């Protein structure tokens, strides 16, 4: 089942949204709520209010929202909460179209996940493969990657696979497809567990 979170807007919208729930009221664990407060977020954005409950329920989400609307938090928070309940290495994979976006996502994961001991690896082009192989060998909880570099590691990094991944996020999926990453994304999806 896919739940679509519509584009962000202020106040009540045509879809009847007029939410003002707290992160705790959305079902977010108190440890993660503390981390959210520590990074300075006071209340969930519209996309977060609409997506987080579905993410916490384990549903697929297609989220459409403007830059700066809190989309990253909308997928980071459910992943962290699930990881808190089921600690496991190589748990989530986030694909991004550019190394800059991958780093931004990694920073968000690290800021919100520091208090629960989250380990991330950012796997992008333009960085030494050996350095990234070492990071992947440490079996981080979350891997944030650009599609091309991830395929390089899947083909060349001994012992690295996606068999245990529970989450797959395609951030800016439309942009990745317009950048001709479709072949790499298909390869990656085929290597994910069913």
Higher-confidence position of 26 and 16: 26
Ordered domains of the chain (ranges, CATH): 1-86 (3.40.50.300), 87-194 (3.40.50.300)
pLDDT at 185: 95
**CB distance 73 to 48 below 8 Å:** yes
State the first-to-last Cα distance of the chain, in angstroms, to the nearest integer. 15
Q: Residue 167: which of 143, 138, 186 has the closest Cα?
A: 143
pTM for the structure as a whole: 0.88
**CB distance 80 to 114 below 8 Å:** no
pLDDT at 16: 44
**What is the chain's mean pLDDT, rounded?**
89
Q: What is the pLDDT of residues 17-39, one digit of tens each?
A: 556 899 999 999 999 999 999 99
Contacts of 72 (CB under 8 A, 6+ apart): 104, 105, 108, 171
């Amino acid at each position: 089942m896919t739940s679509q979170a519509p584009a962000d807007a202020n106040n009540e919208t045509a879809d009847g949204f007029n939410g003002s729930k707290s992160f705790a009221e959305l079902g977010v664990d108190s440890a993660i709520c503390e981390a959210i407060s520590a990074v300075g977020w006071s209340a969930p954005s519209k996309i977060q209010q609409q997506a987080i409950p579905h993410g916490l329920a384990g549903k697929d989400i297609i989220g459409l929202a403007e830059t700066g609307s809190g989309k990253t938090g909308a997928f980071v928070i459910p992943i962290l909460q699930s990881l808190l309940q089921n600690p496991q290495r190589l748990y989530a994979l986030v694909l991004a179209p550019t190394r800059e976006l991958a780093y931004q996502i990694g920073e968000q994961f690290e800021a919100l996940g520091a208090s629960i001991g989250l380990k991330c690896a950012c796997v992008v082009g333009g960085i030494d493969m050996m350095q990234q192989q070492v990071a992947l060998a440490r079996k981080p909880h979350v891997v944030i990657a650009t599609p091309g570099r991830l395929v390089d590691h899947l083909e060349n990094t001994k012992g690295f696979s996606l068999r245990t991944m529970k989450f797959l996020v395609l951030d800016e999926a439309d942009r990745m497809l317009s950048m001709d990453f479709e072949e790499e994304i298909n390869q990656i999806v085929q290597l994910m567990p069913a």
